[in-house]
Amino acid sequence: MDFRELATRRVSVRGYRPDPVPDELLEEILDIARMAPSAANRQPWGIVVVRDEARRRALLEAYAREWMVSAPVVLVVCVEPAAAWVRLEDGWNAAETDAAILTTHLLLAAAERGLGTCWIAAFSPSRLKEVLGLPGHVVPVAMTPLGWPADAGRPKQRKALAGILHRERW
Ligand SMILES: Cc1cc2nc3c(=O)[nH]c(=O)nc-3n(C[C@H](O)[C@H](O)[C@H](O)COP(=O)(O)O)c2cc1C
């Protein structure tokens, strides 16, 4: 699959078959994700892998959608802002951008292997921190179920290139 096809085929999956995701496949996807770039190569991230059914169901306290836990794995991408690069002029912290790139790599690596994912940000951060026992300085940025898709997802809807492009200046 070339990159255009992969980027086009990846869709948010909101329904999963119960079939297990083999450990080796999960490890491979996580290993690819860690190749993501980060500002000043700080890699301020961590990934929580949730396989245990009771803990997966506990995640519903943070994001109450059954489809999320229909997948056999849920991944939570976190960052430590204190470990991330900070831009000098305005103090901008790259942590969440770094986490977003890692998550994107993860989603695409999964899609390349036929696995479904769905980026989730609409969770309760306080409840998620509690369920996963995250220390105070660790920020959850994204969660995603990981599993075999039960449906094809929604059709892609994107703005036309001409609608987002600004040539030479905005
Ligand atoms: C930062 C971010 C946050 C998102 N949060 C949620 C979410 O909380 N729940 C959800 O169902 N989908 C969420 N999505 C998925 C988007 O709705 C989805 O990517 C978008 O509609 C485009 O569809 P596609 O992923 O199928 O191409 C999120 C996506 C991104 C990038």
Question: Taking 90 as the threshold, does the pLDDT of residue 159 lie above it?
Answer: yes
Work out the average pLDDT over 68-95.
Answer: 98
The tally of domains found in the chain comes to: 1
Q: Which residues form ligand 1's pocket by a CB distance below 6 Å?
A: 11-12, 118-122, 153-154, 156
Question: Distance between CA atoms of 94 and 39, rounded to whole angstroms?
Answer: 6
Range of the domain at 114: 3-150
107 Cα distance to chain centroid: 6
Q: Which CATH number is 79's domain given?
A: 3.40.109.10
* pLDDT (tens digit per residue) in 84-125: 999 999 999 999 999 999 999 999 999 999 999 999 999 999
Q: 21: which residues sit within 8 A by CB, 6+ positions away?
A: 72, 73, 115, 146, 147, 148
Nearest-CA residue for atom 10 of ligand 1: 120
5-43, pLDDT tens digit by residue? 999 999 999 999 999 999 999 999 999 999 999 999 999
CA of 119 to the centre of ligand 1 (A): 5
- 158 assigned to some structural domain: no
Q: Which of 75, 71, 76 is nearest to 19 (CA)?
A: 71
Domain assignment of residue 167, yes or no: no
Residue 74 has pLDDT above 90, yes or no: yes
pTM tops 0.75, yes or no? yes
- Classify residue 126: in a domain, yes or no: yes
Q: Residue 1 has what pLDDT?
A: 87
Q: Does residue 152 register a pLDDT over 90? A: no
Q: Give the whole-angstrom CA distance, residue 39 versus residue 34.
A: 13
Q: Within a domain: residue 166?
A: no
For the chain, give the mean pLDDT: 97
The DSSP element (H or E) to which 116 belongs, if any, is strand 116-117
User: Residue 139: which pLDDT band, with cuts at 50, 70 and 90?
Assistant: very high
**Within a domain: residue 156?**
no
